[in-house]
């Protein structure tokens, strides 16, 4: 009986250590995911800004008036 109790305590202790490790790993992965989300949003903003700038450059004359084009 005491041996069973000792084995259960060891198993419980090992399980708690494993849970603690998994919680830390989960937190680390969540932090990395958040960093990647921020990088993605930043890159999307840069791309959108670049595309908008190109559209403005392409569709407007240097005087700031709409360029006349035959493209639809």
Which tens digit of pLDDT belongs to each residue from 15-72? 999 999 999 999 999 999 999 999 999 999 999 888 877 776 666 555 555 555 555 5
Could you give the dihedral angle defined by the CA atoms of residues 14, 17, 23 and 27, in that order, rounded to the nearest 10 degrees? -140
- Which pLDDT score, from 0 to 100, does residue 54 have? 73
CB contact set of 60 (below 8 Å; sequence gap of 6+):
66, 67
Q: Using pLDDT thresholds of 50, 70 and 90, give the confidence band for residue 3.
A: very high
52 or 5, higher pLDDT:
5
Helix (H) or strand (E) holding 11: helix 2-59
- Which pLDDT score, from 0 to 100, does residue 23 have? 98
**Domain extents for the chain?**
1-72
């Amino acid at each position: 009986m005491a041996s069973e109790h000792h084995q259960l305590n060891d198993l419980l202790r090992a399980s708690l250590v494993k849970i603690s490790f998994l919680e830390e790993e989960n937190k680390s992965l969540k932090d990395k995911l958040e960093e990647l989300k921020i990088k993605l949003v930043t890159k999307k903003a840069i791309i959108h800004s670049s595309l908008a700038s190109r559209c403005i450059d392409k569709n407007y004359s240097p005087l700031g008036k709409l360029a006349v084009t035959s493209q639809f």
